[in-house]
Structure 1
C-alpha cells in the first residue's frame, strides 16, 4: 500500500524528515508530550503472510489518525515531517491533513534527513501542475529561464532556500526527452506549501 504526500498546504514543512526503519518486530510508541510516562498511540508491525509484505496491526483503525508523509509498506517506507526536537525526543507530524503531532523517542530506527538530503534521494520530482513556474538559470525570479520541452522528471542536485537545483534524468523516458538540462532551478516550496511532487521510487 502507498500513501504519498502531494503538496499539503496547511501543515508546516518542519525541520526535515524522519524515516523509521522497521521490520516485523518493530513497535513505535507515540506520546502527547516528552514528559508523559505512558504512550498515547502504538504502531506494531508484523509480517503479513496474506499479502507477502510488512503490515501494521489494525491498520484500518490506526489510519483514522495516522496520515504521515509517506506510508509505503511494500517498500519499507514510513516517513514523517519532523516539526521539532527536544533532546532525545522528536516531534512528528503524524497527520498531514490536520497537523496533529506526537512525540517519539530517538533510537536506532529513527533516521533524520534535512529536506535537501531527502529530496536528493528521490527517484524524481516534478513541478505542480497548479503552480506554473519556469525553470531558471539561477535561484532567482529575475534570472533567465530555460526553455524545456518534455516531461517533468528531474533529479535534485542541491537546495538553496526556497529553490532546488535540478537536472534531467533518464529515469522516466530513457533519455528520449527533447530537452536536456544539466543545471536549472525551480522553487520547491512557498511558505509551508510544497511546490513539487516527489516520487520515492518508480
Structure 2
C-alpha cells in the first residue's frame, strides 16, 4: 500500500526540466470554463500568437482546453493538471500589466500574457511553501544538512522523503517532516524539525514537489 501511494505521488508530481530557466517564480492561471488566455510574442503586439480556450467538457465532467492535443504540441508548462485546476507557468518577467511566462519547458519558449485577475504570481519560496510535500531527486544524491551549507553535519534520516518547506536561503530550502507524513505514510523513523537541502543547481531542480496527495 505504501508503494502504491508513493507511485501515485510520483505520477502526479511535476515534471523536472533540467535545462529550462527556472525564472523568478511561478504564475498560476485561475481559469474557469469561460477563460480565454492569449499569448503574445511582445507586449506591443495587438494580435496574439497563441490562444487557449477553456470549456465545460461534459464527456469528462470537468473543464478542459479546446483542441488540447494540438495545443500540447507547443504548450508544455510547469503544471497542466486540469482535474485539480492546476495550470502553472514559470515566470521570467512580471510587470504591472504583463507577465512573461515559459510556455514550453522543453524548449524554453516564452510568451507574454496580460496580468489580470486570472493570474497569480508566487516566487519560488512562496510556491514551494504551499506544496503538499517535496522530496529529493533520486538521481541527485544529497544529505540533509543542519545549516544551508555543505561544510556542516548531516542529519541522519531513515524513511521515504516527505517534507514541507519552511524557508529558503539562496539555493537551499529549510525542511521539516509534517503531520501528514506520519510513520504509516512514509515508514519513516525520523522526525526533522529543521533541516536543509538544495532545491536547485543553476537551472536544474534538485527536488520533486507534489501539489496534492
The TM-score with structure 1 as length reference comes to 0.96
Larger strand proportion of the pair: 1
Say whether residues 1:69 and 2:78 are aligned partners.
Answer: yes
Within a 5 Å distance, the mapping from 1:19-168 to structure 2 comes to 19-168=28-177
Report the equivalent of 2:7.
Answer: none
More helix by share: 2
Candidates 178, 184, 192, aligned match of 2:189: 178
Moved over 2 A (4+): 2-7, 169-176
TM-score normalised according to structure 2 size: 0.91
Alpha-carbon distance change, 4 to 104 in structure 1, aligned in 2, over 3 angstroms: farther
Cα pair 1:21 1:109 within 8 Å, conserved: yes
Residue 86 of structure 1: how far off its partner (Å)? 4.1
Shift, 1:200, TM fit: 0.3
Q: How many equivalent pairs are there? A: 201
Provide the rounded CA distance (Å) in 1 between the counterparts of 2:180 and 2:55: 32
RMSD between superposed Cα atoms in Å: 1.4
Structure 2 unmatched ranges of 5 or more: 1-10
Unaligned runs of 5+ in 1: none
Distance 1:94 1:76 in 2: 17
Deviation at 1:88, TM superposition (A): 1.0
